[in-house]
């Protein structure tokens, strides 16, 4: 069995976001790039499945320029066997899914994070499954291999759901798929330098959406301190300023 894990290259969650060009483009100067947290958990679960037996190889893939290779190398250091980088800037979700579809056809299980921590789009995994005509399930919090099928756990409103699904399968995973992301050990970092990282050419596909401009949220108002005995002032503030009463 072959597993493909989709890896998004995203800014560290502590990054201070800035824009340039009259708020028309993201300023990536000085940004620390990391594996998208949901994809990191997906990779951890893939490693657990391989260690349990029945998985031959784990491949990681992304759509991005050469600057994204350190992120793929980190995934290799965690334990993936090889990596694929499709040499194109990651535009919108459709463009990314169309590119990934060209390298994802031979896999039994594809794991994708439910969203990326930059744009929170929650679209690439579902689009990829439609392009490939693979079975797919979202909001996956647990997955196991049972012969030629997969036993999938989902968290849904009011409870949980257990499904048995045949492959090939695109599983769109959320938090809970693994407890903690794995941290690369020094041996893994050294081995990652020698693992294959294939650069694939992009296919002819066009994005369906375009960013016109960006806008930062308004700054938070200064905190007001109210004496705990002054209930009248608290009620007035909640009614007239916060407008929650």
Residue ranges of domains in the chain = 2-217
CA 31/CA 23 separation, integer angstroms: 17
Q: Determine whether domain 2-217 maps to CATH 3.40.50.2300.
A: no
Q: What is the pLDDT of residue 184?
A: 84
Q: What is the pLDDT along the chain (245 residues), one digit of tens a residue?
A: 999 999 999 988 888 888 888 888 888 888 889 999 999 999 999 999 999 988 999 999 999 999 999 999 999 999 999 999 999 999 889 999 999 999 999 999 999 999 888 877 889 999 999 999 999 999 999 999 998 899 999 988 888 899 999 989 999 999 889 988 888 888 889 989 899 999 999 999 988 888 888 888 888 877 888 888 888 888 888 888 877 77
SS3 71: helix
> Treating both helix axes as pointing N-terminal to C-terminal, what angle do 37-52 and 69-78 enclose, rounded to 10 degrees?
30
CB 121 within 8 A of CB 93: yes
- Ramachandran class of 77: left when φ > 0, alpha when ψ lies in -120 to 50, beta otherwise: alpha
Instruction: Give the pLDDT of residue 104.
Output: 94
| Residue 116 confidence (pLDDT) | 84
């Amino acid at each position: 069995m072959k597993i493909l894990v989709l890896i998004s290259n995203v800014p560290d969650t502590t990054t201070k976001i800035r824009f340039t060009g009259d708020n028309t483009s993201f300023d990536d100067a000085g940004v620390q790039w990391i594996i998208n947290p949901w994809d990191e958990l997906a990779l951890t679960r893939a490693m657990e499945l391989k260690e349990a037996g029945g998985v031959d190889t784990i491949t990681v893939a992304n759509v991005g320029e050469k600057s994204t290779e350190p992120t793929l190398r980190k995934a290799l250091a965690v334990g993936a066997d090889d990596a694929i980088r499709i040499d194109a800037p990651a535009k919108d979700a459709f463009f990314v899914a169309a590119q990934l579809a060209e390298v994802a056809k031979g896999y039994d299980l594809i794991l994708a994070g439910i969203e990326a921590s930059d744009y929170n789009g929650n679209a690439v995994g579902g689009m990829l499954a439609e392009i490939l005509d693979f079975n797919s399930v979202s909001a996956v919090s647990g997955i196991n291999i049972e012969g030629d099928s997969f036993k999938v756990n989902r968290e849904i409103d009011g409870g949980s759901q257990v499904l048995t699904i045949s492959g090939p399968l695109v599983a769109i995973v959320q938090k809970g798929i693994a407890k903690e992301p794995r941290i690369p050990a020094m041996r893994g970092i050294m081995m990652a330098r020698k693992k294959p990282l294939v650069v694939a050419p992009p296919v002819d596909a066009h994005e369906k959406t375009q960013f016109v401009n960006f806008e930062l949220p308004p700054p938070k108002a200064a905190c007001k301190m109210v004496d705990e005995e002054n209930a009248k002032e608290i009620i007035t503030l909640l009614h007239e300023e916060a407008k929650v009463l």
